[in-house]
A and B are shown apart, each in its own frame.
Chain A
Amino acid sequence: MDKTIKKHMITYSKIFNRSAFVFAWLLSSSVLLLAQNNNSNYGTISFSFIQIVNGQSALYDTLIYSNNAGNRYEINKVQYFVSEIILHSISGDSVRLSRSAPCHYVDKDYPKTLSWSLPDKILPGKYNYVSFIFGLSKDQNKSYRFRNPPESIMFWPDILGGGYHYMKINIKYLNVNGEISNFNCHLGIGQTKDEHGKIDGFIHNCFSVTLPASSLIIRKGQTSKVEIIMNIEKWFDSPNIIDFNNYHGIMDNQKAMSAICANGKNVFSLIVKE
């Protein structure tokens, strides 16, 4: 009995090992081949986030800029979220990107946040617009979703509506007396108040930005590169002139946040890189 079992075991073991190997090889080859075919039928996209002032790369911590209100200022921090990026094709179709993680944090002090390579497989073709939500969209802006810095440090207090700052631009400027002063351009959920000044409601100040991208072509098997450029000075200049002397913090000042959000629609531009 022992000998028979041993003999059979050796035979079966050989057959089994060989068959298993051939089967595994066929299976993995087919999967790889299919995956390759699938990937080569689509393209991908990556975004870079660039900050400029008056057409030049932003120079931080240096008192060299002036706004339309005549304030001399320097920029110390630029931190913001974008969410729900959509590509719009000429035919009118749209592709919503990164559905599973539809927001991205940008921080001039964290180089890895300045680019975002999306995993989406995109149908090749011409796309003539890119749109996104500036800040976190209403659906995405939930308190406590980020546990770790740097994103967690963008929290927006629950008392003021919760979620996260859409943006922090921290600025030093010279006030009317020529003294150094601080201005925080912080955007997030706004508040409505009753006659006693008590908060009685919230306003989602996030807004949609649509940028022309006529030369954006997604090609099979290639990654298209797009730069999203923030023209920082435009937050303060048009259509609303923001005089830093008139504000303090603007986080619980819906009127100020609303004026700055209106300017924000003109702040971004886009370049497709070849």
Chain B
Amino acid sequence: MSKNDDVAKKRSNIILFFIFNVINVIFFTCSSQTGLIKNSADRPTPYSINVPFFPDSLNIPSDNPMTVEGIELGRYLFYDGRLSGNTNKEQLMTCASCHLQKHSFECGIDHPLYKGGRPHGLTGEETPHVMLPLINLAWINEGYLWNGMISNSNNILGDEKLGVPHEQIYNHKNIESLVWMSIVSPHEICGNIEKTVYTIQNIPMYPPMFKKAFGSDVITMDRINKAIAQFVRSLVSCNSKFDRFMDGKENLTESEMSGLYLFTTERGDCFHCHGSPALPLWTTNSFMNNAKDINFNEPEDRSFVTKNPKDKGKYRVPTLRNIALTAPYMHDGRYKTLDEVLEFYNSGLKRSPYVDPLMINMNHGGMHLLEKDLADLKAFLITLTDSSFITNPKYSNPMPQNEYFIK
């Protein structure tokens, strides 16, 4: 063998060595990924929410990431009356019994069972407050319900009175918590967790769905909580006429534009609490006393949570998205129409030390706008209605023909 051949051989060996190395690197890199890919058939498909003009601070617990299969399962349970633990047609109840898509997942003022928009449970006991819409809840980091009681800072576990054990899965922190609470609460299903879990476990279609969503066909309350919470977080409303106007795809009428002007200037002064195009959830999600009353004796206001007496009469500032669909209004549903609400803000504000200082119109009893101005404000508010949300098949009853599913 010549010297040149020897050099050539060495070179080819070096090249071969590097090729082996490259193959090695690729192999090891891929094998670590194939750890994920290998079981991909068993793993649920990740689902992400992204609305470019919404905040990016989502409230999704790390132990309940959203998945396509989890959301689908949650949707079935949301509409299945057997979530109550009952198979007797007279005693079916589930989330969709009160949360109607056509009313932005509130019960609405025209519900045949819940007169005046005030829902009650299977026992007939009324809920402490009227409903809040189930939309864009993934963006609420300040606590859920009218008083913000359900929040990540709440360390209570279980419910002694209702026999729910002090266990981590029965926390009071997030949307997951609201599911088990709805099952045991006397003003909702008034059932018990074991009965619900047993009933769902014995419906043949569910174990495979749980297997797809959570990798196991064993049904637990924790998994029911998580599936329904995933579905609720997927209820995103971001396609109102006003959104399309901001996107340059639709125009507002003169009256709607005038309403926007009133809304976002000191004349109406609605924007400080209810947002603007720059705060597109149309709420600050804060808790405020909006000058409805002089005396505050309602036991479940914000002060119930904070234990601060200065928080009397404070409630969540609700989103104005789909506000035209969500009568009655205020925490107690005292106003039946948007006109009544506007009239309250125009001339019915009551002075008290508890009123939020942002309510500067309290000084003079209201906005004191003309009738035409109020009509313009209303016209603007209606532009926040998202018709595509209330007709979106992704959010609708998945088995309308099934007798156990709530119509």
Contacts and interface: CB of A to CB of B under 8 A. Distances in A.
Q: Are A and B interaction partners?
A: yes
Interface of A: 4-5, 8-9, 12-13, 16, 61, 76-77, 143-144, 147-149, 152-153, 155, 157-160, 170-172, 175, 179-184, 248-249, 251-253
Nearest to A63: B353
B355 A159 contact: no
Given A9-B20, A158-B277, A182-B357, A152 B265 contact: no
Contact of B264 (A158, A182, A248, A249): A158
A5 B265 contact: no
Contact of A159 (B17, B265, B284, B310): B265
B351 interface: yes
Given A152-B278, A157-B276, A12 B14 contact: yes
Given A148-B55, A149-B284, A155-B278, A5 B357 contact: no
Interface stretch (B62-70, B147-155, B359-367): B359-367
Contacts of B279: 152-153, 155
B362 A9 contact: no
B276 A155 contact: yes
B344 interface: no
B371 interface: no
A179 B358 contact: no
Given A157-B264, A157-B276, A180-B351, A249 B360 contact: yes
A4 B264 contact: no
A61 B360 contact: no
A209 B397 CA distance: 60
A76 B20 contact: no
Interface of B: 9-10, 13-14, 16-17, 20-21, 53-57, 141, 260-261, 264-266, 269, 271-272, 276-279, 284-285, 310, 351-353, 355-360, 362-364
Contacts of B364: 248
Contacts of B360: 182-184, 248-249
Contacts of A5: 13, 16-17
A9 B14 CA distance: 8
12 contacts: A5-B13, A9-B20, A77-B357, A143-B278, A152-B278, A155-B276, A159-B260, A159-B261, A182-B360, A182-B363, A183-B357, A252-B265
Contact of A249 (B57, B261, B269, B353): B269
Determine chain B's interface SS by DSSP, over half rule: loop
A16 B25 CA distance: 15
Contacts of A9: 16-17, 20
A196 to B, nearest CB: 14
Contact of B357 (A13, A76, A147, A157): A76
Contact of B363 (A76, A170, A248): A248
Listed from nearest, the 10 A-B pairs whose CB atoms lie closest are A155-B278, A157-B264, A170-B357, A249-B266, A8-B13, A182-B357, A148-B55, A181-B363, A148-B57, A182-B360
B20 A181 contact: no
A5, A153, A160, A170 pick with most chain B CB within 10 angstroms: A153
A253 B57 CA distance: 34
A153 B279 CA distance: 7
Given A148-B57, A155-B271, A249-B269, 9 more contacts: A4-B9, A5-B16, A8-B13, A12-B17, A147-B56, A149-B55, A158-B264, A159-B265, A184-B360
A37 to B, nearest CB: 35
A31 to B, nearest CB: 24
Nearest to B278: A155
Contacts of A77: 357
A148 B17 CA distance: 52
Contact of B55 (A8, A147, A249, A252): A147
A251 to B, nearest CB: 5
B265 A144 contact: no
B264 A160 contact: yes
B52 to A, nearest CB: 9
B246 to A, nearest CB: 10
Given A159-B261, A248-B363, A249-B266, A182 B278 contact: no
